[in-house]
Amino acid sequence: IEVVLKDISEEAAGKGKAYSEKLLEKQVARGRMTEDGKNRVLELIKPTASDADLQGCDLIIEAVFENMDLKHRITKATEGYLADNGIWGSNTSTLPITELAQASGKPENFIGIHFFSPVDKMPLVEIICGEKTSDETLARAFDYTRQIRKTPIVVNDSMGFFTSRTFGTYLDEGVRLLNEGAHPVQIEAMGKAIGMPVGPLAVYDEVSLELSRKAQETWKEMGVLDKWGDGTVLRSVIDTMVGEHGRGGRHHGGGFYEYSADGGKAIWPGLFDLYYKPDAQFSEQDMKDRLLFRPVIESLKCLETNVLRSVADGNIGSIMGIGAPVWTGGYIQFVNTYGLQHFVDRCRELEQKYGERFAPPQIALDHAASGEIFA
């Protein structure tokens, strides 16, 4: 597809194209592409710092920082360059599409197109429909996603949609365990033990504590700070890590981990002084279930409130977008395999020990009572 890559400067846009060139060179080196093929792809990418070069685009996808005002400014400044009946996509991971579309002259042509990092490796795209998004716009976004060989799921509008809401609970529970005094290495080991690619602290460093801090500020401005649960513990840890110790995450010089020039990493020693309690006792089974059940429960809540349009989208999205353990078959399928009543009972045990965030959702209670699996 012919692409205009617009950034704040020619240099920044050039870096974007250079990244694509590096990926293509790897394909050439592996015999998966010819040199001519690489050059043909690169000829399709036009790096620029000028909005005017967007003139006539059928689709514009913005990917600026998660700030409502900034995204509104970008929309107003560049939407007019779209072709007649062109569509506008926002690569937002958390901000409601309906509110983002308020800056659009054609909210029916406005849709969320959420990619996952690293985009060249992650197969999923989460398509989010706002209140006014038309069926035609959805169809065109879906076709575009298939055209670039990604797997789409379609969800309805919500703060954080499905993937970010669900994935955030894994990070939050890891931070809660840290705050309770669990050994950081044990926390990470329990994440891997349930089948996650990496532990919650390591992945939080990749996501960025600084980015999370800024997102929390945006949510506070929007009046939705704790809409999906109490974030007091998370904010306390972020304030300490970022505000007091300058530990913003991997791309900010280090966060929960320290990183070496050769690509190695180790737990930041300061974590032991700040949080580790050698005398605290933790059940490893409880630790594993806490890290697994939080995103499962959030997935069920998304299904219950029609954020998820289908069980299949929840299962596909959790595995292909947020790295859910493959053995589960997806977070919702996990409930079927675990046993509906068994799941409800275990939720109640965890709720009694650790709080209401583990309360079984009504949809789980209903299915357990009827014996109907999630399908």
Q: Cite the active site residues.
A: 126
Burial track 307-328 (b if 16+ CB lie within 10 A, e otherwise)? bbbebebbbbbbbbbbbbbeeb
> Which of helix, strand or coil describes residue 373?
coil
Cβ atoms of 113 and 145 closer than 8 Å: yes
Cα–Cα distance list, 159 to 97, 142, 156, 223, 226 (Å) = 9, 21, 10, 11, 11
Give the separation between CA 199 and CA 188, rounded to whole angstroms.
Answer: 4
Six-digit token pair at 202?
């390591």
Q: What is the Cα gyration radius of the chain?
A: 22
Six-digit token pair at 179?
């705050």
Cβ atoms of 185 and 174 closer than 8 Å: no
